[in-house]
Structure 1
Amino acid sequence: MTWLPEDLDKFFGLFRPDLVGQRPVVDSIDGGYLQTSYNLTPFNLEADLDFQYAMALTSPATVLDIQVGDEFVSGDINNMLAAFDRYYCGSLDSSLDPQYPDPQPGGYNKTDCGNVTPPKVLSISYTDPEDKFPIAYLKRQCIEFLKLGLMGVTVVASSGDYGPASGYSPGTCINNTTGVSNATTGEFSPQWPAACPWITSVGGTQRLTQSTGGNGSVTGTTNVIRNTQTADEETAFNVVLPGVQSTSGGGFSNVFPVPAYQHKAISTYFDRRHEGAHLASLQENGFLNLTRAGRGFPDVSALASTYLVYVEGVLETVYGTSASAPVFASIITLINNERLNAGKAPVGFINPVLYAHPDALNDIKTGVSLGCGANPAFRATEGWDAVTGLGSPDFARLKDVFMNIL
């Protein structure tokens, strides 16, 4: 995935003229490089989106582009983590699904092992089904995210765009017979790395009066859950696409238990009279992996609708948590800058603070997620929910909370 310089400049020329000519700093891992030979939406859209908004929102902070894998062997999150921590290099696993194995160091033009410094805020916009990986593999990788948090790194990841289903179009679910995420109905399919309790998972919202249009990667008419709220308030992200409906990803891990910082929020969610009855009805209808024992996600949410992005010279409208994740990461970067200017350390792992101060976020109380045959699957409600988490950020309130922490 590579951003195109001309796309950045067109975007900056429209929204941030002072940034025209500015570029992300490329951090190459295992031969990572900028691929500009092929200008195709699958290669350019995600990177154009991430860096146009991250740079525009956080300037003059330095934005890093972590490029993993050379032109012959692509890399993955595991290779990135190995570059951050030399003790993790031995955990690369080439025995996974042949279509998605961990590339091994011998296949690269160069090998990076513990010699790359991670950024203070790391944003990941890609998800995989949790059940695609062995449990031991998931737990070991999740420990690396914990290590990054202890090092002062905030790891942010999108929650997915298909409600309780996986990100494989049109959104697949765990087959009740085979246990594999390859069905259109069945058990809910938690997303990775969103299900790791040591990262901050970001869901999606949209305005109640959200307009439609555009021809981006995720486009279509918006499906709005209307109520008596004012027009400028938010609801859960929910967009009708050709052949599929895209909604804020969320659910409960089948591998990781509820972390201590989330116990109260999860219990309250299940114990609410109306919500508890709805969740019980889901279980009665075959969604047996829905329990209060699993780590819930997302943790927070942010706008995931109607982003203007230049892709291959064309201004497009883009939707999804691939947009909300880097925007939330940008907000944390701005807060880090405020703390650094005050002589304080970066915030690092933020989830315990967020759950201790839910009033620093805008609680999203309307909207639903769909998927795996459940309509609705989860519903946004007062407090934490498995659609929008604790809610969307209020920068001033979040900054006040984090500035008052030593």
Structure 2
Amino acid sequence: MKHRLMQMFWLWVVAAVVLGIAIAGVSVAVHAQADQRVPMVGQTVPLLKHAKKTGDIDAGQTLNLSIGLRLQHQDVLLQLLYNLSDPHSAQYHHFLTPQQFADQFSPTLEQRQQVVDYLHNQGLTVDGVSSNGLLVNAHGTVAQAEAAFRVQVQKYQLGSRSFYANVNAPSIPSALSEIILSIGGLDDSVQLHPLSHLVPTPRAGYAQTELAGAYDINPLYQEGVQGKGQTVAVFELDGYQPADISQFAVEHHLSQPNLTNVLVDSANGSAGAGAIEVELDIEVINEIAPQAQQLVYEGPNSTQGVNDTYNRIVTDNQAQIISVSWGECETQSGAAELQTLDGIFKQAAAQGISIFAASGDSGAYDCNDQNLAVDSPASDPYVTSVGGTNLQLANGGTYGSESAWSSPTDTQRSPNGAGGGGGLSNTFSKPDWQVGPGVNNQYSNGMREVPDVAADADPASGYAVYCTVSASGCPSSGDVTVGGTSAAAPLWAGSTALVNDFLQQHGQQRVGWVNPMLYQLANSQQTYAPFHDVTSGNNLHYMAGPNYDLATGLGSPDVYNIARDGINGIPTTGGNPPDPAPTVVATPTDTPQPTATPAQSPATNAQS
């Protein structure tokens, strides 16, 4: 009996040891899996291919990080966006609120908290989580960021420009790889550029009278349509001089614009080197849509500042239209950052917001070298890319002719010259709605084609602007002529405010995300011709021609005709819905809110 008890005892001991070893093995395996790192795709710095390493960066320097998170249920979202723009769908123009979008497509509160906890555990300070959960702001030293993301940050030189950048792609724990989309702020290699050209020729550019005559706006004015009830958000990375805006209105016999500044992150609203761009945008919108309200969003020119400014505009949801005249070569922006912005622009589309962005001023060579490239954010499918033309008036101030903007001898920005941006994206596929005569051409490769539309941009037929900011190159006299696709974008934004006003006066909704509608207009016979088809000239590489082309897109606007076609109804032709997707939507979780404050600045400064 005693022997049997001893046997059983030792069997229990052996079993306990085996079980303990197994449990320990599982624990080690789980811990190892939790520590497994995944390198992030699209997070290398493109400029390093051409830059020279100049040394180490101070390990104690502070980095401001913008962590981009992934949208959920993207197949459902794509189907929704298709339905919102399909006049035959029961969801047509049933735009979402920011809360509805967040409930259905944003990362869950639990996912946001996972990211916040990881950053905290790495010693980084979390400054806030955006209300839609797409951005987490944090800061820390270079040493802390290098340890958190297993990177090395170095100093570099490219031409006259110095910058710092991560040598290798950052990595994150595998458990976060389905949540985190991008890590911005590990480098400052990319800064957006204002896409305008100042010409020191006083009072030579077109103003409201000429622009309204050329683009068929006067009939709308005669019907009392001036953009009433419309709000345009103006995306800016600099400030402006309010007195310049006021003086422009006085000189051109316009009402004073209804302006409100919204300062994002550390922006202070002071007028700097980019002020000419800000003033150009505000003044063009004011002369095209005098009764529209303008919200001037001003943020820092950094990855965090750019992301936060776009996201603030969209989550505020106060504007029906966004005008963007700042951009960067798509190739240099990096794929991860482009995808982060794409998520923000998809939310804008779901909320019925039209975004117009300048296509660039270096023609088909947006990176300012010998390689074909296009501009971001104009290359994004949820943004309307606006190219450039040279506009000539007929006798009587009406539309005469246009040709693609191309100035091979203007090499101050690019060695190939200046011209309206256009070409093929290297990141975004051609969307289903981008169809029609000319879209499939000898250059087509299955990628997104830009621009979508065009308008006057050549400085030789530019815009009258008033600017006295010496830091921006403006004369003390104030009167200058400015060109660039950054003038064409606010012209389209102001024109869309007029179209929205006209539609709503006729009991219809605003146009919303406008790209599908523009191609629907071009693909079916309209009672009134919506575009001036630009068929001559080039943008330093691509030739303009009948119908769609990669120099001027669908052409420049006949604003009155677009408005009238809109109230007549636009039949849908071409374009297929995305692959069938589940009709269910995400259910909000009951997990607690991440322990961080909102990554949005409440500071506003009203101007009158």
TM over 0.5: yes
Q: 1:2 aligns with which of 231, 239, 250?
A: 239
The 2-side partners of 1:353 and 1:143 are apart by: 21
Q: 2:425 aligns with which of 248, 253, 274?
A: 253
Matched, 1:154 2:323: no
Structure 1 letter corresponding to 2:243: E
Q: Which residue of 2 aligns with 1:44?
A: 275
CA contact (8 A) 1:3 1:51 kept: no
Q: Which residue of 2 aligns with 1:398?
A: 562
The 2-side partners of 1:28 and 1:403 are apart by: 37
TM-score normalized by structure 1?
A: 0.70
The 2-side partners of 1:398 and 1:328 are apart by: 12
Is the partner of 1:148 in helix, strand or coil?
Answer: helix
1:300 Cα deviation (Å)? 0.2
CA contact (8 A) 1:266 1:296 kept: no
Q: Which residue of 1 aligns with 2:387?
A: 203
Aligned residue runs from structure 1 range 1-400, under 5 A: 1-19=238-256, 22-36=257-271, 42-69=273-300, 76-84=305-313, 114=315, 116-166=316-366, 172=368, 184-185=369-370, 187-208=371-392, 232-239=400-407, 240-241=409-410, 243=412, 245-265=417-437, 267-268=439-440, 270=441, 276=442, 279=443, 291-305=444-458, 306-312=462-468, 313-358=477-522, 359-370=529-540, 377-400=541-564
1:16 Cα deviation (Å)? 2.4
The 2-side partners of 1:74 and 1:378 are apart by: 31
1:235-289 deviation digits (Å, cap 9, x = unpaired): 1112342555211100011111111111334554x1xxxxx3xx5xxxxxxxxxx
Question: CA, structure 1 residues 5+302, in 2 after alignment: closer, same or farther (shift >3 Å)?
Answer: same
Is the partner of 1:196 in helix, strand or coil?
Answer: coil
1:76 Cα deviation (Å)? 3.4
Question: CA, structure 1 residues 69+267, in 2 after alignment: closer, same or farther (shift >3 Å)?
Answer: closer
The 2-side partners of 1:292 and 1:10 are apart by: 48
Structure 2 letter corresponding to 1:16: H
The 1-side partners of 2:542 and 2:289 are apart by: 33
- Tell me which moved more, 395-404 or 314-323: 395-404
Question: CA, structure 1 residues 341+31, in 2 after alignment: closer, same or farther (shift >3 Å)?
Answer: farther
Question: CA, structure 1 residues 3+84, in 2 after alignment: closer, same or farther (shift >3 Å)?
Answer: closer
Q: Which has the larger radius of gyration?
A: 2
The 2-side partners of 1:84 and 1:49 are apart by: 20
The 2-side partners of 1:193 and 1:296 are apart by: 13
The 2-side partners of 1:74 and 1:356 are apart by: 35
The 2-side partners of 1:329 and 1:236 are apart by: 20
Runs of 4+ in structure 1 over 6 Å off: none
The 1-side partners of 2:450 and 2:423 are apart by: 6
Is the partner of 2:338 in helix, strand or coil?
Answer: helix
The alignment of Structure 1 onto Structure 2 pairs a total of residues equal to 309
Structure 2 letter corresponding to 1:196: D
The 1-side partners of 2:411 and 2:328 are apart by: 22
Structure 1 letter corresponding to 2:463: Y
Structure 2 letter corresponding to 1:11: F
Is the partner of 1:369 in helix, strand or coil?
Answer: coil
Q: Which residue of 1 aligns with 2:197?
A: none
Q: Which residue of 1 aligns with 2:133?
A: none
CA contact (8 A) 1:158 1:324 kept: yes
- Tell me which moved more, 245-254 or 6-15: 6-15
Structure 2 letter corresponding to 1:304: A
Task: In structure 2, list runs of 5 or more residues that go unmatched.
Answer: 1-237, 469-476, 523-528, 571-608
Structure 2 letter corresponding to 1:310: Y
Question: CA, structure 1 residues 28+61, in 2 after alignment: closer, same or farther (shift >3 Å)?
Answer: same
The 1-side partners of 2:502 and 2:439 are apart by: 34
The 2-side partners of 1:18 and 1:329 are apart by: 18
Structure 2 letter corresponding to 1:13: V
TM-score normalized by structure 2?
A: 0.48
Task: In structure 1, list runs of 5 or more residues that go unmatched.
Answer: 86-113, 173-183, 211-229, 271-275, 280-290, 371-376
Structure 1 letter corresponding to 2:324: I
1:294 Cα deviation (Å)? 0.8
CA contact (8 A) 1:203 1:249 kept: yes
CA contact (8 A) 1:201 1:300 kept: yes
1:75 Cα deviation (Å)? 5.3
Q: Which residue of 2 aligns with 1:217?
A: none
Question: CA, structure 1 residues 385+14, in 2 after alignment: closer, same or farther (shift >3 Å)?
Answer: same
Structure 1 letter corresponding to 2:376: W
The 2-side partners of 1:251 and 1:397 are apart by: 27
Structure 1 letter corresponding to 2:400: D
Structure 1 letter corresponding to 2:452: D
Question: CA, structure 1 residues 47+81, in 2 after alignment: closer, same or farther (shift >3 Å)?
Answer: closer
Q: Which residue of 2 aligns with 1:110?
A: none
Is the partner of 1:379 in helix, strand or coil?
Answer: coil
The 1-side partners of 2:530 and 2:482 are apart by: 27
1:48 Cα deviation (Å)? 1.0
CA contact (8 A) 1:5 1:23 kept: no
1:208 Cα deviation (Å)? 4.8
Question: CA, structure 1 residues 33+119, in 2 after alignment: closer, same or farther (shift >3 Å)?
Answer: farther
Question: CA, structure 1 residues 74+251, in 2 after alignment: closer, same or farther (shift >3 Å)?
Answer: closer
CA contact (8 A) 1:29 1:69 kept: yes
1:322 Cα deviation (Å)? 0.6
1:30-53 deviation digits (Å, cap 9, x = unpaired): 2443214xxx5x232001111111
Structure 2 letter corresponding to 1:337: D
Question: CA, structure 1 residues 49+75, in 2 after alignment: closer, same or farther (shift >3 Å)?
Answer: farther
Question: CA, structure 1 residues 75+2, in 2 after alignment: closer, same or farther (shift >3 Å)?
Answer: farther
1:27-82 deviation digits (Å, cap 9, x = unpaired): 2322443214xxx5x23200111111111221212111111249xx7853311233
The 1-side partners of 2:399 and 2:254 are apart by: 31
The 2-side partners of 1:330 and 1:254 are apart by: 30
1:61-113 deviation digits (Å, cap 9, x = unpaired): 2111111249xx7853311233256xxxxxxxxxxxxxxxxxxxxxxxxxxxx
